[in-house]
Amino acid sequence: MFHRAIKELDIKRVVRLIDGVKNIGFAYSTISGLSFAISDNEMYSEKAAVIEGGNQKAKEIEENYNAGLITNEERRKLTIQMWMDTAEDLAEKTWQEFSEENPVRLIIDTGMGRITKNTIKQLSAMRGINVDPLGNMVELPTKGNFREGLNIFEYVTSIRGSRKGLTDTALRTADAGYLTRRLVDVSHDAIIRAEDCGTDEFVTISTEDNRGKIFEKRINSRFAAKKVVSPETHKVLVGAGEMITEEIAAEIAKSGIKEVEVRSPLTCKMRFGLCVKCYGNSLASNSIAVIGDPVGVTAAQSIGEPGTQLTMRTKHSGGVAGVDVTQGLPRVTELFEVRQPKLVAPISEVSGKVKIVETDNGNLVTVTPTGKKDDRKEYLIPLAMPLKVEDGELIAIGTQLAVGGVDIKELLKIKGLRSAQNYLIGEIQSIYESQGIGIHDKHFEVIVRKMCDYVRIDSLGDTSLVAGDVISRGSYEMANEAIIAQGGEPATATNLILGTIRAALHTDSWLSAASFQDTTSVLTDAATQGKIDHLVGMKENVIIGRLVPTSKLRARIENI
């Protein structure tokens, strides 16, 4: 209902509708007097038999270990898995004991609050396997539940996991908040500044890649770079330069089209900010973006806020073993900071045929280009790292050879900027999507565009730039254009992908950089170089008390 309202009504009417539904909910919750007592948490009558069955299985596993049939690690894993399965089985049987009119079941069935069927497992079945403060599973299960109470031993073993949940919330919430702050600092000057940048570049979204299942969502709210024609009816589903709406996206997905070329923030040619055509629909208002829309801050908050929720969600399981959703946050931070992963997976520097030889030191993977045996590359991969290629397989340059994280800087050097950008977006999205959090690719594209907005000067040409300096792409292009106009030799540079902290500190605005961190060194550097702040972004305007450049008049590129 709300989704349809957002599409069909103006914002004020949508707000009134949501507020009205909220008031109806409060009114009927009050009238119903819905509440529950301890006795409403029904218990499975044969619980003791289920627990006894678990005890017998644990005894059998122990006997197999004593007989030398399994290792200690296998015994531990089998015991933990068995008790987890027992807890799930008991929880399901307990759930069947709840009648349709049971107040607890009514609350869960309505989906209100944070109570789920997993909560029933702890209230009425058995708490199950706990985790210790380091996140390791404790093989002694808590067989009691909160209705019948825990004995002193169960209380002591389970309280450690509960404390971990609370400390995680306190520590990780700060991490997620800091992530949001860094993202805002990087992207606050990503504002819609023109209707069309005129680029002929585009990105291709395919059903064949790792994220092909959500193909329809990924093409939605974008402008098509080329016309899309149905392979069966030959009907033009969307023309070049036209918006792909939700309905058109569904039609494209249904027609069996494998890939669509779309405009993207990654390919926008605007020197400052973005254009309407490359951004597409504003996901905040569900209408085409307008000049002045602060899409950078929108992107930062869209990515950062779910990160905060990821951290909060730990405490709802109270330290009971399951998937600890905070594990994804350090990896998100690692990717946004472009750090080298702890376990680096090698990538092939050439295209060719794979040959794998197992040695004492690991798997020796040799990639030989067709017809160029002298150019072959060898990679020694530890036996502990499973391979992602097979003997005799033909692979392309940049192919990941083993399981692990790819060094983004290495990927940039071998396969180029676009491949590195796509890898970065895909990896971060996979973390959010694994937790059921759907964020549109456009938000990540805006942030990654800003992270890739810098170059390192290689040769000066006739410019006044300094070799080895890291500057924004806009400053580099303007310096070269000025020299070319005078008939001089332009500078050359290498593309960089900077982490959010470095990107925020290397921004053209010294006011914005100084307000982020390293204030003394930023101000000293700005003073010695005689830097001028052109007040392009939002932060620098707020600092000096000017209106932010988010109106149609102030945001226009001609006014910068």
Helix, strand, or coil here: 129? strand
Least confident of 277-291, 292-306, 319-333, 524-538: 319-333
Residue 322 has pLDDT above 70, yes or no: no
Of 256, 211, 208, nearest to 233 by C-alpha is 256
Domain finish residue from 293, 317, 337? 293
Q: What are phi and psi of 358, to 5 degrees?
A: -85, 125
Range of the domain at 74: 34-129
- Residue 185 CA to residue 73 CA, distance in Å, equals 47
Q: Which two tokens stand for residue 544?
A: 């000096």
CATH classification of the domain holding 59: 1.10.132.30
- Residue 425 CA to residue 283 CA, distance in Å, equals 18
pLDDT value at residue 318: 46
Instruction: Decide if 263 is inside a domain.
Output: yes
Instruction: Decide if 441 is inside a domain.
Output: no
Q: pLDDT digits over 389-413, tens only? A: 999 889 999 898 988 888 999 999 9
Instruction: Decide if 498 is inside a domain.
Output: yes
CATH classification of the domain holding 383: 2.40.50.100
- Residue 299 CA to residue 79 CA, distance in Å, equals 45
CATH classification of the domain holding 489: 1.10.150.390
Domain finish residue from 100, 129, 158? 129
Average pLDDT, integer, range 258-262: 92
Give exposure, 419-448, as e/b (b: 16+ Cβ within 10 Å).
Answer: bbbbbbbebbbebbeeeebebbbbbbbbbb
Instruction: Decide if 216 is inside a domain.
Output: yes
Rg over CA atoms, the chain:
29
- Residue 180 CA to residue 187 CA, distance in Å, equals 11
Q: Both 391 and 485 in a single domain?
A: no
Confidence of residue 503 (pLDDT cuts 50, 70, 90): very high
Average pLDDT, integer, range 168-191: 88
Q: pLDDT digits over 262-291, tens only? A: 999 999 999 889 999 999 999 887 789 999
Q: Both 122 and 202 in a single domain?
A: no
Give exposure, 504-524, as e/b (b: 16+ Cβ within 10 Å).
Answer: bbbbbbbbbbbbbeeeeebee
Q: What's the structural domain count of the chain?
A: 4
Q: Both 117 and 211 in a single domain?
A: no
Q: Both 454 and 555 in a single domain?
A: yes
pTM summary value: 0.78
Instruction: Decide if 236 is inside a domain.
Output: yes
Beta strand pairing status for 362-368 and 377-381? antiparallel
- Residue 165 CA to residue 135 CA, distance in Å, equals 10
Residue 134 has pLDDT above 80, yes or no: no
- Residue 94 CA to residue 121 CA, distance in Å, equals 8
- Residues 495, 412: contact at Cβ < 8 Å? yes
Of 529, 504, 534, 535, nearest to 519 by C-alpha is 504
Q: How many helices (H) and strands (E) does the chain have?
A: 21, 19
Q: Both 464 and 396 in a single domain?
A: no
Instruction: Decide if 46 is inside a domain.
Output: yes
How many residues are listed for the chain in this entry?
560
Average pLDDT, integer, range 69-86: 91
- Residues 333, 431: contact at Cβ < 8 Å? no
Q: pLDDT digits over 25-52, tens only? A: 889 888 877 778 888 888 999 999 999 9
Instruction: Decide if 314 is inside a domain.
Output: no
φ/ψ region of 229 (left if φ > 0, alpha if ψ in -120 to 50, else beta) reads beta
Q: Both 276 and 376 in a single domain?
A: no
pLDDT value at residue 139: 86
Q: pLDDT digits over 341-370, tens only? A: 888 889 999 999 999 998 888 889 999 988
Instruction: Decide if 337 is inside a domain.
Output: no
Instruction: Report how far apart the first and last C-alpha atoms of the chain are (Å, whole number).
Output: 42
pLDDT value at residue 559: 56
Domain finish residue from 273, 293, 313? 293
Q: Both 361 and 458 in a single domain?
A: no
Q: What is the mean pLDDT of the chain?
A: 87
pLDDT value at residue 323: 35
Q: Residue type at 76?
A: R
Specify the DSSP element, H or E, that contains 394.
strand 394-395
